[in-house]
Amino acid sequence: MEFVEALFPVPTRFPPSALSPHALPGSSPEAEQALLEALKHNYQNNHIFQNDKRFHNHAVHHILAIYALGANGQLLSEGYKNDGSTQRPLGKSPAPISDINFADHLGDGKYYQAYLEFFSARLVSEGVDKILEDYLYSKDVNFNDQEEANGSRQLEMFARFMSGFMHPLIHTGYGLEFGLLGIVAEALAQSAVHRPTVSALVPKSYFDERHQSNGISAVVNGASTLLRNTTPKTFASAAPQSWDSEVSVFDVLAFVIKDESLAAASTGALESEDPFSMVVKTKADTILKYSEMWSLDVVGSTNPDQEVARKIEELAWATAVIYGVGGWRNGSPFRADFVLMHLLTSSLFLPTICAYFPPHVIQIFLRSYFSVCIAVWVAQGRPSVEITPDFISKTDSFPQEPVGDHVTTPANGTLTPKNLTPNPWLAIIQSALVHPDNHVCKVQRALGHWSRMFGGRPQGYWAKSSPKEDAVQLKGVELLDGTLFVRVAAMTQDTKGWMREGQAERNWSR
């Protein structure tokens, strides 16, 4: 294909936003060469779907995640080889894609290669900001009034981007984080061939509101660099923030828990072959009602950077709670839910993607993202996310890797000699780097980043200081502190197996 070198430069070590994850030490010429060879090979040879069931190609996610965690060249090559055996050949689409027939083949996997060439050429010639606007979030590529009047189907590109358990979103995040137009092209092509399964959660009204609101265009003009390359001191600060005047994501989860129509017995989701589609089809209005309770106002905020940062923090905690607390039961093994895990891994890219969106699109994006999270949680049976004292006392806030037969005796004078792993994250990352399951490194990278940002949050951070008598609050939310992320990381590694340390690989719960 043309443009390959322009599409795959040396990955940037400077992410778009200070809120984005930062790469760990480990970069070397060997690692960069191995990474770029694998990325180019995947781009030129592999389809985005592995099979007719539309299982996703995760090879790019895997090698970029471990590259960011410090993998050397040999490990990057082995990781790509491990994933490559399951990939479907790219093939040739029946016809090329142009602006004339762009809408004709949306949702059709046979046209992935054609959409890939289309977006590659556009990105090289016009740049990422313009292409994201023209083909992802503009009103015309989502809900076009003229097309609706003609009876034509709507393109709904943003809903496609949010579908497939948010794999197009994740792929986009990797491309933007590392400055790789080739990965962005793959992500947009992936969005194009996805069906808009979350359409009911990204309603037309979200796009109409921009045009019905006075003065928004002045705010939006030139604002696509919101959050980009900024230093948000308030976001990274450990200073407590007050949630008293807001409806937080945890308040919303409490409302969802109280709604019996969203219980597993009522939705019938667990008996369905496609529980997520069933929930979206039958419960979208209810889910939107709750999602729209969440206090979120990017466009109207006097400090939009602060607003976005606070809301991303809420979503980071919420996804960790849904996956981590939702998988824990006193006296039972941790249930590492394969589907809920994708909420956590996708949350890592919220700050990076928001850095490329103007305020009104960030509003749509974060609201829709939360709606999808609720729907996925409900579809998985709405496992309890109420925090109990037992969760705090029986999960490990300072985990240690299993030592097996490899016992190390510290030398005299070593500080804290009985604590061989003074930073548990180093052990977790080392083990995740070489785990063959490409989701493990992604989970641990997300949890590690959120721990870096919020690990110092004290117990009581999420409590309301003066709740109203009739307020609905998530039970036990006042018990949460910044150790949540390492607790969940340890449970995940224990469940999936510390393979580097000699344990066997184990499966996700499905």
Q: Report pLDDT digits (tens) over 16-75.
A: 988 899 999 999 999 999 999 999 999 999 999 988 888 899 999 999 999 999 999 999
CB 363 within 8 A of CB 299: yes
Give me the count of residues in the chain.
510
The secondary structure of 50-83 as a DSSP string is: SSTT--B--HHHHHHHHHHTT--HHHHHHHHHHH
CB 445 within 8 A of CB 68: yes
* Predicted pLDDT of residue 111: 98
Q: Which residue, of 197, 220, 239, is where some domain finishes?
A: 197
The secondary structure of 137-174 as a DSSP string is: ISGGGT--HHHHHTTPPP--HHHHHT-GGGHHHHHHHH
- Closest by Cα among 485, 476, 450, 465 to 246: 465
- Looking at every residue in the chain, the average pLDDT score rounds to 91
State the Cα–Cα distance between residues 187 and 176, nearest whole angstrom: 10
- The structure tokens listed for 182 are 């080739």
At 269, the amino acid letter reads A
Residue 242 burial (10 A CB sphere; 0-12, 13-18, 19+) = exposed
CA angle 466, 470, 472 (to 5 degrees): 85
What average pLDDT does range 220-229 have in this prediction?
A: 45
Q: Which residue, of 143, 175, 197, is where some domain finishes?
A: 197
Residue % of the chain over a pLDDT of 90: 79
At 194, the amino acid letter reads H
pLDDT class of 472 with cuts at 50, 70, 90: confident
- Asked if 187 and 322 sit in the same domain, the reply is no
pLDDT tens string 119-129 = 999 999 999 99
* Predicted pLDDT of residue 360: 95
Residue 223 lies in a domain: yes
Residue 367: strand, helix, or coil = helix
* Predicted pLDDT of residue 201: 98
**CA distances, 385 to each of 257, 389, 497, 509 (Å):** 9, 13, 24, 17
Give the number of domains in the chain: 2
CB 98 within 8 A of CB 118: yes
What average pLDDT does range 185-191 have in this prediction?
A: 98
**CA distances, 477 to each of 319, 347, 412, 484 (Å):** 14, 20, 43, 11
Q: Which residue, of 197, 218, 245, is where some domain finishes?
A: 197
pLDDT tens string 265-324 = 999 888 889 999 999 999 999 999 999 999 999 999 999 999 999 999 999 999 999 999
Asked if pLDDT for residue 216 goes beyond 80, the answer is: no
Distant-in-sequence contacts of 422-429, Cβ < 8 A, 24+ apart: 424/398, 424/399, 424/400, 424/486, 424/489, 424/490, 425/451, 425/486, 425/489, 427/399, 427/400, 427/401, 428/399, 428/401, 428/486, 428/489, 428/490, 428/493, 429/24, 429/69, 429/70
Residue 408 lies in a domain: no
49 forms beta bridges with: 56
* Predicted pLDDT of residue 466: 60
Residue with tokens 């083909």: 135
Domain limits at 165?
A: 4-197
- Asked if 146 and 279 sit in the same domain, the reply is no
Q: What are phi and psi of 84, to 5 degrees?
A: -65, -25
- The structure tokens listed for 454 are 């919020």
Half-sphere exposure of 266 (CA within 13 A, CB side): 12
State the Cα–Cα distance between residues 432 and 376, nearest whole angstrom: 25
Asked if pLDDT for residue 187 goes beyond 60, the answer is: yes
Task: Count the Cβ atoms, other than its own, within 10 Å of residue 294.
Answer: 21
Asked if pLDDT for residue 214 goes beyond 90, the answer is: no
- Asked if 264 and 341 sit in the same domain, the reply is yes
Residue with tokens 């969760």: 391
- Asked if 326 and 449 sit in the same domain, the reply is yes
CB 474 within 8 A of CB 386: yes
Asked if pLDDT for residue 218 goes beyond 50, the answer is: no
- Asked if 170 and 211 sit in the same domain, the reply is no
Residue 364 lies in a domain: yes
State the Cα–Cα distance between residues 26 and 80, nearest whole angstrom: 18
- Asked if 99 and 40 sit in the same domain, the reply is yes
Residue 173 lies in a domain: yes
pLDDT class of 467 with cuts at 50, 70, 90: low
Residue 433 lies in a domain: yes
DSSP state of 194: S
Lowest mean pLDDT among 380-394, 396-410, 486-500: 396-410
Half-sphere exposure of 186 (CA within 13 A, CB side): 33
* Predicted pLDDT of residue 229: 56
pLDDT class of 510 with cuts at 50, 70, 90: confident
- The structure tokens listed for 495 are 């469940």
Task: Count the Cβ atoms, other than its own, within 10 Å of residue 146.
Answer: 8
What average pLDDT does range 83-87 have in this prediction?
A: 86
- Asked if 239 and 214 sit in the same domain, the reply is yes
CB 232 within 8 A of CB 316: no
Residue 179 lies in a domain: yes
- Asked if 224 and 167 sit in the same domain, the reply is no
State the Cα–Cα distance between residues 189 and 399, nearest whole angstrom: 41
State the Cα–Cα distance between residues 240 and 403, nearest whole angstrom: 38
State the Cα–Cα distance between residues 135 and 174, nearest whole angstrom: 18
pLDDT class of 13 with cuts at 50, 70, 90: confident
* Predicted pLDDT of residue 2: 62
CB-based contacts of 503, cutoff 8 Å, min separation 6: 402, 497
CB 431 within 8 A of CB 501: yes
* Predicted pLDDT of residue 220: 37
**CA distances, 190 to each of 47, 132, 179, 274, 435 (Å):** 9, 14, 18, 21, 26
Residue 409 lies in a domain: no
- Asked if 173 and 301 sit in the same domain, the reply is no
- Asked if 122 and 242 sit in the same domain, the reply is no
CB 58 within 8 A of CB 50: no
What average pLDDT does range 477-504 have in this prediction?
A: 97
Lowest mean pLDDT among 86-95, 382-391, 465-474: 465-474
Residue 485 lies in a domain: yes
Residue 116 burial (10 A CB sphere; 0-12, 13-18, 19+) = buried
- Asked if 74 and 48 sit in the same domain, the reply is yes
- The structure tokens listed for 313 are 């923090």
pLDDT tens string 326-383 = 999 999 999 999 999 999 999 999 999 999 999 999 999 999 999 999 999 999 999 9
Asked if pLDDT for residue 226 goes beyond 60, the answer is: no
* Predicted pLDDT of residue 55: 87
- The structure tokens listed for 175 are 């491309």
State the Cα–Cα distance between residues 357 and 225, nearest whole angstrom: 7
Query: Which pTM was predicted?
Result: 0.93
Asked if pLDDT for residue 152 goes beyond 80, the answer is: no
- Asked if 45 and 99 sit in the same domain, the reply is yes
Lowest mean pLDDT among 228-242, 317-331, 418-432, 476-490: 228-242
